Amino acid sequence: NAGVTQTPKFQVLKTGQSMTLQCAQDMNHEYMSWYRQDPGMGLRLIHYSVGAGITDQGEVPNGYNVSRSTTEDFPLRLLSAAPSQTSVYFCASSTGLAGGPLEQYFGPGTRLTVT
Amino acid sequence: AQKITQTQPGMFVQEKEAVTLDCTYDTSDPSYGLFWYKQPSSGEMIFLIYQGSYDQQNATEGRYSLNFQKARKSANLVISASQLGDSAMYFCAMREETYFISNFGNEKLTFGTGTRLTIIP
């Protein structure tokens, strides 16, 4: 199992550009989520999905879009990048089942810089 | 709204000593879970330990134990016999679980701001 994979590892964007951060998992997990990590602020939830076709907003959703067409993939789209979106982005997944493994599995992260 | 507070931005501990990382939480949900994650300098998030709010005993995983004091709303991580490889950021996180049981898939985590632990040889 590859677990949770994220691409790219690093990305530099100019203000106003758009891009998609990719996330995939091969553990057949129903629940997937995106977090951003900023210095001194811990991880904050951007969007999450409880299964294919079902997504919802987290704590800091503005400026980001998601969709979930398959169980495996959960891409995060930045529509018009802003310097405030400079951050490290983590994708996570879990079984979403009561009684299953308790933890969320995190990807290696994508470091995004917006200039 | 749920909240996690980690009041120690940084700690320095001598190798082989025990260390306690503080975590307090606030929630109105009667059922919740508390997690600790480790983030080494390489950046990945590593799950360490979990404590459910209705668990009767404190959770333990190898050298990690969770000192859960429900009345004080604290969930401190204790690392026994610290090693140089324990140097990392440590995050406390909480998941509200009342709806997790009945509504399949509610696994939103709220994180604290973290504690940077440095082990001194």
Asked if A43 lies within 8 A of B91 by C-beta distance, the reply is yes
Tokens of B23: 């975590």
At residue B100, the pLDDT reads 55
Position B42, amino acid: S
At A51 the pLDDT is 87
Question: Angle at Cα B94 formed by Cα A63 and Cα A68, nearest 5°?
Answer: 40
- Which of A42, A51, A58 minimises the CB distance to B108? A58
Work out the pLDDT band at B99, boundaries 50, 70, 90. low
Query: Min CA distance, B102 vs chain A (Å)?
Result: 9
Given this model, what pLDDT does residue B107 score?
A: 74
Q: What is the pLDDT of residues B67-77, one digit of tens each?
A: 999 999 999 99
Quick one: which of A48, A29, A30, A25 has its CA closest to A107? A25
Contacts of A58 in chain B (CB under 8 A): 108
Each residue's pLDDT tens digit, B9-28 = 999 999 999 999 999 999 98
For the segment A3-21, the average pLDDT, to the nearest whole number, is 97
Whether the pLDDT of residue B98 is over 80: the answer is no
Q: Do B113 and A41 touch (CB under 8 A)?
A: yes
pLDDT in tens, A94-110: 886 655 567 889 999 99
Helix (H, G, I), strand (E, B) or coil at A36: strand
Of residues B8 and A100, which shows the higher confidence score?
Answer: B8
Q: Is the dihedral of CA A113, A90, A49, A74 positive or negative?
A: positive
Rounded Cα–Cα distance for residues B26 and B94 (Å): 9
* pLDDT score recorded for residue B75: 97
Please tell me whether residue B63 adopts helix, strand or coil conformation.
Answer: coil
pLDDT (0 to 100) of residue B116: 97
- Cβ-proximal residues to B121 (8 Å cutoff; 6+ apart), any chain: B15, B84
Q: Within 10 A of B74 (CB to CB), how many other CB atoms are there?
A: 17
**How crowded is residue B91: how many other Cβ atoms within 10 Å of its Cβ?**
26
A94 vs B88, higher pLDDT: B88
Q: What is d(CA B6, CA B72) in angstroms, rounded to the nearest whole number?
A: 14
